[in-house]
Amino acid sequence: MFPPLHCPSCRQEIEVATPRCPGCGFSISAVDSQYGADTVVLARVTDAAHCLKVSEKEAITDVLVDFERRFPQLFFAVYLGALPTMNNLELFGFWLLNRATLEAVDFSRPNENGLVLVVDVNAKKAGLAVGYYVENFLEPAELERALKHIGPDLAASQYSRALARLSADLGTVLVKKAREAAKNPAKFQRQRLTAGADFSLKKLQSGEGTPSAPTGPKP
């Protein structure tokens, strides 16, 4: 049984393939209007806040490269910024993962296979956003546990140590889930693409308009 999905804006529980939140009407267009609908280019480690030393940045990059070597289908990116009046960091992570292109990541790892850690160094908040594929294997409770584990390191501005710990924690969970998924893949198939579903990821990725109606199966 999968945990329910929530709207990143109002936290209301939503359906698997709903085009907009039935409670607040949220959709990607809402954040596009705030941050822009164009594609942005990100590095593996984006230090918009300029709070990392070169050695720290290299250390974090090494951690992320190791993570990607360990999980050849996934990627991991980090964004550190001093965001102005950011009320909802989760929305920013949501937008970033949908609109960003990772320059150091090859095409075999689409954004739905990615994890992005967004750290607001001023607001002292850290958000971990995951793509459609990764959320099949990492539940919100596991993300919460991993983030809380690195909270002290983040508070002490020990970002490289925090990333190493986060990568290790998530890696442990992912290895376990990969073994389970190899034995029983259907257990992790949260969003099955049915024959009648006209709102599919492929259509969106090919630019075929906006979704019209939720037709996907319930979790």
Partner 1 sequence: MRTRTVIPLFLALLAGSGVGAPPPGPPNPGPGNRMYPNPQQVIDDPLTLPSWSPADQRELDEGKRPVNLGGGLFAPELFPLQPAPPLVKSSPPAIMPDPLPPGEGVDGVVPAPSITGRLGDAYFAKAPATPLIDPQRVLAEDKRRQLVDFFRTQTQEGSPPVHLFIFGGKQVLPDGVNPANLVDRWFPNRDAVFALYFMGEPERGQVIFSKKARDRFPIQETDPVEAACRAEAAGGTGAVTQLDQFTTRLALSLHGLSRTALPAAPVVAEVPAPAPPVRQATAPVAARSTELPPWLGWAAGALAAAAAFVALARRWRSSTGPVHFPEMDLVSRLGAPHSGGGGYVLDFGPAAED
Binding positions for partner 1, 140-179, rule CB under 8 A: 140, 143-144, 147-148, 151-152, 154-155, 174-175, 177-178
Q: How many residues does the chain have?
A: 219
Q: Which of 124, 192, 198 is nearest to 162 (CA)?
A: 124
* Closest approach of partner 1 to the CB of residue 75, in Å: 12
Residues 6+ apart with CB under 8 A from 84: none
Under rule CB under 8 A, residue 133 binds partner 1: yes
* Closest approach of partner 1 to the CB of residue 53, in Å: 19
In sign, the C-alpha dihedral spanning 57, 136, 188, 72 is negative
Query: Would you say 15 or 61 has its CB closer to partner 1?
Result: 15
Map the footprint of partner 1 across residues 65-94, applying CB under 8 A: 69-73, 88-91, 93-94
Asked if residues 191 and 16 have their Cβ atoms less than 8 Å apart, the reply is: yes
CB contact burial 143-152 (16+ within 10 A = b; e otherwise): beebbeebee
Under rule CB under 8 A, residue 42 binds partner 1: no
User: Which residue bears the tokens 């990333």?
Assistant: 163
* Closest approach of partner 1 to the CB of residue 183, in Å: 10
Query: Would you say 76 or 137 has its CB closer to partner 1?
Result: 137
In sign, the C-alpha dihedral spanning 2, 29, 96, 127 is negative
Query: Would you say 41 or 182 has its CB closer to partner 1?
Result: 182
Under rule CB under 8 A, residue 37 binds partner 1: no
Pick the stretch among 41-49, 52-60, 193-201 that binds partner 1 (CB under 8 A): 193-201
Pick the stretch among 46-54, 57-65, 197-205 that binds partner 1 (CB under 8 A): 197-205
Give me the 13-32 binding string for partner 1, x by CB under 8 A, dash otherwise. Answer: -xxxxxxxx----xxxx---
Rounded Cα distance, 138 and 217, in Å: 20
* Closest approach of partner 1 to the CB of residue 57, in Å: 20
In sign, the C-alpha dihedral spanning 34, 38, 44, 49 is negative
Residues 6+ apart with CB under 8 A from 116: 76, 77, 78, 79, 93, 96, 97, 100, 128, 129, 130
Among 121, 163, 164, 170, binds partner 1 (CB under 8 A): 121
Pick the stretch among 45-53, 54-62, 130-138 that binds partner 1 (CB under 8 A): 130-138
